[in-house]
């Protein structure tokens, strides 16, 4: 009975988590569609840590469609354009909204450093400068 109760709580909380994850995505054309098409199945950490070319994003989106993702051809094109712009080769990491996996994989932080940064963000809000990042306890540069 406890397992069923916990599963119901998890399901009730899932939409709010999805909305929060989608809200942390960078603003721009395609954001809403990415929230609908991609985050409906997995969190943004799955794609935020990748830095693919347009061709690689196209292949990835096509793979997701084969796995059950849905969208019109125009929506899928918008998803690829959004992902390429915001999470393509050379795209910046938005340190104030990046999830654990993006910080760890793209920036090369250790697990304790990512936790320190996320704790700092939670307690102090957004970082205002690179100098502030340098002062986060637990991050070694």
What is the structure's pLDDT at 141? 83
Query: What value, to the nearest 5°, has the Cα angle with vertex 83 and ends 99 and 30?
Result: 105
pLDDT in tens, the chain (141 residues): 444 333 333 333 344 458 888 999 999 999 999 999 999 889 999 999 999 999 999 999 999 999 999 999 999 999 999 999 999 999 999 999 999 999 999 999 999 999 999 999 999 999 999 999 999 999 988
What is the structure's pLDDT at 17? 52
* Cβ neighbourhood burial of 82 (10 Å; 0-12, 13-18, 19+): buried
What is the structure's pLDDT at 125? 94
Torsion of CA 121, 33, 102, 84, to 10 degrees: -130
What is the structure's pLDDT at 72? 96
Q: Domain ranges in the chain?
A: 14-91
């Amino acid at each position: 009975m406890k397992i069923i109760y916990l599963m119901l709580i998890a399901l009730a909380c899932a939409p709010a988590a999805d909305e929060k994850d989608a809200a942390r995505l960078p603003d721009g054309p395609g954001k809403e569609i990415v929230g609908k098409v991609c985050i409906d199945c997995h969190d943004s950490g799955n794609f935020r840590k990748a830095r693919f070319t347009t061709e690689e994003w196209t292949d990835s989106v096509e793979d997701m469609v084969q796995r059950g993702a849905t969208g019109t051809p125009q929506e899928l094109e918008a998803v690829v354009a959004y992902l390429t712009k915001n999470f393509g080769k050379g795209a910046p990491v938005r340190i104030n909204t990046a999830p654990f996996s993006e910080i760890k994989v793209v920036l090369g932080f250790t697990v304790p450093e990512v936790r320190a940064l996320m704790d700092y963000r939670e307690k102090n809000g957004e970082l205002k400068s690179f100098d502030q990042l340098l002062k986060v306890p637990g991050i070694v540069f």
